Amino acid sequence: MKLYDLTIHELRRLLDQGETTAEEVTGTIYERIRMLEPRVAAYLSLAEERAMEEARSWDKQGYGDTTKPLAGVPLAVKDVICTKGIRTTCGSHILANFVPPYNATVALKLKEAGGILLGKTNMDEFAMGSSNENSAFRPTRNPWNLDRIPGGSSGGSAAAVAADECIAAVGSDTGGSIRQPASHCGVVGFKPTYGRVSRYGLVAFASSLDQVGPITKDVTDAALLLNVIAGYDQRDSTSVPKEVPDYRENLLEGLAGVTVGIPREYFVEGLVPEVERAVRQAIKTLESLGARAIEVSLPHTEYGVAAYYIIAPAEASSNLARYDGVKYGYRDREGKTLMEMYRKSRSEGFGAEVKRRIMLGTYALSAGYYDAYYKKALQVRTLMREDFLTAFRQCQALVTPVAPTAAFPLGEKVDDPLQMYLSDVFTLPASLAGIPGISIPCGFTSEGLPIGLQILAPHFEERLALQVAYNFEQNTDFHLRRPPL
């Protein structure tokens, strides 16, 4: 096994035993980045000099401190998370030269745990997209097939993990932006409960939906990384002061006594047969491990896309109002009046998809339409949350597809926003309800493209989703396969 192939827990064992060094691992990964980036385009910024210096520092001080579980581990962070002294663009021209003066709480926790930041990963602009084609700089390509999308909006993070351009990564999920790219790239992606991980320093898209989570090579690493970033933060008013268990210690073998629900609304027209077969086979595997599978109903699922694409753009319209050319970010220098400067700065700085969502959101919030659209969408959101609560009275976890298809070709849906939005039909409901969900590899198409399995759990029951995922992973080999780069 090459050093860049390693998981967090495998690398930590080698570092502890003195069989490799952080400098050697970090240098090896940068060599791989230089080799693959012209084809994959997973990163927007690299911090090589700083990272190598940190690696050498860890090698000097040693790895005996058990409070530093990520010591010497090279990581990537999505470019929507503020990193002090390192450019944070959100994949947008409007923030192309923005260098934050502070660290997001998540970035700070990774640093304090000993993680080495390799760089910032590519993404759909302001996390608005399902394919990474909305990046203002360049699209990321799927390591399994360079003509396919990696998923979005955390496509750069998922592609970097799949291509072994980092040991693990962090992304953000608003409507599926961790789980969907993890599925398309054949890696593990975890969206925690809303409020479990601090949003302080996460550049806002939709504040009631955005959540930070890990993207890793296996479930154990997802648990390890979640241990580091989870927890209450008084700087985030939506952070929940709830005790965080040790997720890795709770990776228990066996599913005896666990009932998994199969929502009938997730197996509908539009679900590609190869994807359905892989998911149904995964359900049989869970049953063979002791789980009991029952059919459940989430009756308001069909309204998820409509509700999300009113709520999220409405919040984006408000959040993105701050980019006016005055406070920070891109500023048009030719406008002769204040209003002209505002207009030109925003029209030139934002991409087409961001402008589309700002206009949708502004319209939904406008006088005369607020009750008809935004208020109604919030009511639907409440009904969807109640659907999940009802289902979880019958079962401990839900098992579903992550996406209706495997990764589709670059350019196939970029001019058809509605088809692009429907890519998230199976991930949006969990985001609207605020529950945790994980995507794990469960198969491959006849073309060799990964297929993901989604496991959803009740609020703050990340432990349960991880346990189900871990047991499936330990009895299959899908997570061990690597793209033929």
Which 3-state string (H, E, C) describes the chain?
A: CCHHHCCHHHHHHHHHCCCCCHHHHHHHHHHHHHHHHHHHCCEEEECHHHHHHHHHHHHHHCCCCCCCCCCCCEEEEECCECECCECCCCCCHHHCCCCCCCCCHHHHHHHHCCCEEEEEECCCHHHCCCCCCCCCCCCCCECCECCECCCCCCHHHHHHHHCCCCCEEEEEECCCCCHHHHHHHCCEEEECCCCCECCCCECCCCCCCCEEEEEECCHHHHHHHHHHHECCCCCCCCCCCCCCCCCCCCCCCCCCCCEEEEEHHHCCCCCCHHHHHHHHHHHHHHHHCCCEEEEECCCCHHHHHHHHHHHHHHHHHHHHHHCCCCCCCCCCCCCCCHHHHHHHHHHHHCCHHHHHHHHHHHHHHCCCCHHHHHHHHHHHHHHHHHHHHHHCCCCCEEEEECCCCCCCECCCCCCCHHHHHHHHCCCHHHHHHCCCEEEEEEEECCCCCEEEEEEECCCCCHHHHHHHHHHHHHCCCHHHCCCCC
C-alpha to C-alpha distance for 462 and 388, rounded to whole angstroms? 15
Q: Which of 177, 239, 317, 439 is catalytic?
A: 177
Contact 400, 183 (CB under 8 A): no
**For this structure, is 198 an active site residue?**
no
Residue of 78, 120, 191, 217 marked catalytic? 78
Q: Which of 153, 183, 317, 345 is catalytic?
A: 153
Say how far residue 190 (Cα) sits from the centre of its chain: 7
Told to judge if 78 belongs to the known catalytic residues of this protein, a careful annotator would answer: yes
In this structure, the strands spanning 188-191 and 211-216 are antiparallel
In whole angstroms, what is the distance from residue 449 CA to residue 35 CA?
Answer: 22
Enzyme catalytic residues: 78, 153, 177
